[in-house]
Amino acid sequence: MDVGWVYTIQESMHAYAANVYTSVTEELSKVKDRRFIAVEQEFFRLWWDTVASDSHKRQVRQLVKEGRLEFIIGGQVMHDEAVTDLDDEILQMTEGHGFLYETFGVRPQFSWHVDPFGASATTPILFALAGFNAHLISRIDYDLKDTMQKNKNLQFVWRGSPSLKAQQEIFTHTMDQFSYCTPSHLPFSNSSGFYWNGVALFPDPPKDGVYPNMSLPVTKETVHAYAQTMVENIKQRAEWFRTNHVLWPWGCDKQFYNSSVQFNNMDPLMKYINQNSNEFGVTVQYATLSEYFQAIYQSNLTWDIRGSEDFLPYSTEPYQAWTGFYASRNVLKGVARRASSQLHAAETLFTRYRISYPDGPVTKDWALEKLRALRWAVSEVQHHDGITGTESPKVADMYLQHLMQAMMGVEELQAALFLLPHRLDRLNFLSSRYHSKGVDQVPEQHIIVYNPLAWNITTIINITVTFPNAAVFDEEGHAVPAQIQRSAQSNVTNDLFIVVELGGLQHRKYLIRFSQTPCSGSSKCTGTYKTKGVLFERRNVKDWRKTGRRLLPVLSDCYKLMFDQDTNLLHSITYLRQEKTTVTMTQDFWEYHANGDVKAGPISDNYIFSANSSAVRAYKAVEMEIIPGKIVWEIRQYFYREEGDEDYAYSIITRVPKCFGRQLNCLRLEQTYSLGPLQLNTEVVLRTSSSLKNHRTLYTDDNGYQMMKRPYRKFTNNTLARNYFPMVRAAYIEDDVSRLVMVSDRAHGVSSQADGQLEVMLHRRLWNNLAWNLGYNLTLNDSSVVRPTLWVMLRSVSATNKLFQREAIELQHRPVVMPIDQPQKPWPEKEPRSSSPVQSVVLPPNLHLLSLSIPGWNYSANHDVHLSQLHADLHLGKDLHSEPDYDRVLLRIMHLFEEGEDPELSKPVTINLKDVLQGIGEVKVLEERSLTGTWDITHMQRWKWKTVDKLETNEKTCGRCGNEAFTVTISPKEIRTFFVHFSSTNI
């Protein structure tokens, strides 16, 4: 059941989703043999909280206890695998699993990942870490599936991570060519085939229960024809698998809302086949997924191994490469990622607050309500028709509305967490050191800057201000390096760049003093540098005859960038320091012109990228402005569709930071682009062409977790589109000497179509006359202006190995900047108050704090106690709403590096969590858990499958192997999850 897609969640709940759970619950309770598997927790939780009667709830609890209603995956949604970030995949599973464990005491152990458009190698790793015993996929490349079918290789043991290997392997079943639905077309019935309840009706279900397109019922006259068709299909599928157990999925999208009709036709058909099993050679039974996998497991066969390859990209036919959705709805992809990083920051803030101020003025129930709203919104949009951009416009609007509303709520929470615990009133916020008698009072503004990472950082923040002059001071009254200049996006605002130094999970306060006139020699202004830009004449492409004659250098401590005044484009980059290597490089915009007429050939749409020809240059003239600065140089390039156009079609703003403090910020070039509104049936790429000899081999990330090698492949048809891959956080090309890396603030499509080339698809606007797309309004007529950000790095291969994982995370989790007030007259002076800064929390450079949150769900260290309590409640007829658990902190730490990737950073890291977390409070109890928290790691016994290499699974039985109870060792690519309880003196 799609959490979105064509209809909003509310429309789907009303039209069919609520009826699925109501009618299935009733029908399962009538006949003991019946079974049902349920996937999307969002719909189930909405039903449970708003629709289900007490009687339904009692029935569900009994069915779950008996194993006849089985929750599969158990996340809020069936998430996409190509453009989702692992943070959000883990979040949406944790939310669903927490609810299921608290409510029923169940822990999902199987997946049903049948609908995502391609399969990532990260998903089986995460499912293994969550305690799953088997994984099920369906949508993989059509010709690969065909080969696997013929060779009976649709089932295998998948070792998704080259570093974790057998430690997190999982048995994987691939659905055959019939996918996850029963056959719909039968010669003797209508097109619904085995779906007797018909087709879901929007907006309202029919009052008489008669749906359109209901199949012929199973009667004495039809039962044999139905049985024959079913058995033939079962036998056909059996040819492609190694055991005599055939998984025959009964159902499809939006089915079982009228399940009395469905079951009352299934029952007699199955009975008829079993009564005539000698004739048919087949017996059939209802089964949950766990019963099917149990039968396969008990067959005791030895299975082939699949290594760390994924199944991306995904094609269904020769001209249907599903690589367009990597870039569809860029705005939604950006907002979803921003919401996720805001949630991460707020979770860490609330956790610290709760431990430090258990009785503080921010009420815990209110705080958790705000966090849960954003958890829900971020989880929901991970659906495979959400963040993919493959939904109808009204559903995209729904996701955005849910995200924005929840983000506003969390902003309120963040403001409260920053301001209230310190009893921060306007009279004593900043000391009198800012003010001198006799100086004209000028407007001032106060901001708080928070670092949500468990690393010390020195970075540059950017604030948009209306005043042309500003001076910035820290809490001690010291001037802070800053730079102010006219904004690229507006003539009436200015960009104020401020250098901030922050410890891990630390925040600092700053004062900004504004004025209309520049400072004249006053010490109050010495820290701020005011810049002016130099505008270069517009250059027309048709006049590019001799290029490279007039090169203009832009220098930082790390790079020398050369810009060509004949073209106004980048010409080359030299990376300085030890290596001093020059790479020629240009960056500009190109357009693929898509076909929108199905009669004229393959089309591009929300899902599919089908390039009919090569890309063409997207502009005829380029303008450039360079703003030299002491903190950052900014190069603004504007691309005009026609030579005489007044407004530019595209732009690149490149910021070249200088080095500050302990860190080499200058290693990255920060680029923001502006694109749109696009012309119709246009797909726009940023093309970076370089002298690197990469032989069109590309590396892109799977969900921000691991990098995958993507060698260029030639196909009989559609080679261009089939060489596009998803870039969630990072992509790079390299040769023997240098590597060009890009890290992104949202997902894009990426390719290397020529030697030395890296092209990123940033935006798409499409319309076509395909009846399906018109009928469901899936035409992607996206007229928005998008402003994505990429950070670019060019170094040696070994230098970037140390760098790009951290840079990707720093881009994702940039400092939170919170203005406390509007620019106004200074506050009355008061005596300075003593304020010690919050203690920092710092992890080693190869470890990342993935989560620090208070989930609120009720777990139990003793699972049997939890179950007995739930069963006692069931026996007494209670449906108690548990009070949230505010004392249990969920901590996840991830090792960023692969085995052997770097001589030092790839080593296992041993840390004492009591020491690491002492800046937050005193750790009293540490308990290692499964990825989503529902299993005590020492009790989680996953099935061990026989494999051809007979490699034993290296299951760790010791969660904390060391002399001390709080010492843990984290190996390459491991994600370790803990419940932490802090000392009662704190909570």
Could you give the residue numbers annotated as active site? 115
- Which residues neighbour 578 within 8 Å (Cβ) at sequence distance 6 or greater? none
| 652, 293 contact by CB (below 8 A) | no
DSSP code per residue over 783-800: ---B--EEEEEEEEHHHH
- Which residues neighbour 294 within 8 Å (Cβ) at sequence distance 6 or greater? none
Give kind and range of the element (H or E) at residue 573. Answer: strand 569-575
Q: Mark 137-158 as b/e (b = at least 16 C-beta within 10 Å).
A: bbbbbeeebeebbeeebbbbbb
CA angle, residues 292, 297, 298, in degrees to nearest 5: 100
| 950, 304 contact by CB (below 8 A) | no
Report the C-alpha gap between 696 and 686 in whole angstroms: 16
Report the C-alpha gap between 951 and 727 in whole angstroms: 32
Please count the other Cβ atoms lying within 10 Å of the Cβ belonging to residue 855: 26
Closest CA to 980 of 904, 894, 887: 887
Which amino acid, 35? R
Which amino acid, 141? D
Rg (CA), the chain: 30
Which amino acid, 833? R
Report the C-alpha gap between 92 and 40 in whole angstroms: 10
Report the C-alpha gap between 181 and 173 in whole angstroms: 15
| 183, 229 contact by CB (below 8 A) | yes
| 688, 759 contact by CB (below 8 A) | yes
- Look at strands 134-137 and 170-174 and give their pairing: parallel
Report the C-alpha gap between 224 and 188 in whole angstroms: 11
Give, in order, the Cα–Cα distances in Å from 2 to each of 51, 392, 522, 709, 912.
Answer: 19, 12, 63, 32, 44
Torsion angle (degrees, nearest 10) of CA 67, 231, 302, 312: -90
| 462, 634 contact by CB (below 8 A) | no
| Cis peptide preceding 518, ω within 30 of 0 | no
Which amino acid, 746? R
CA 427 to chain centre: 43
**Tokens 């969590």, residue?**
913
Report the C-alpha gap between 105 and 551 in whole angstroms: 68
Report the C-alpha gap between 869 and 660 in whole angstroms: 57
Order of all β-strands in the sheet with 482-486: 457-465, 494-502, 482-486, 528-530
Report the C-alpha gap between 326 and 608 in whole angstroms: 9
Closest CA to 84 of 729, 894, 812, 758: 729
Residue 72, SS3 per DSSP: coil
Report the C-alpha gap between 262 and 197 in whole angstroms: 6
Report the C-alpha gap between 740 and 589 in whole angstroms: 18
Q: Which two tokens stand for residue 53?
A: 């009667």
Give kind and range of the element (H or E) at residue 673. Answer: strand 669-675
Give kind and range of the element (H or E) at residue 743. Answer: strand 738-744
Closest CA to 80 of 379, 335, 318, 344: 379
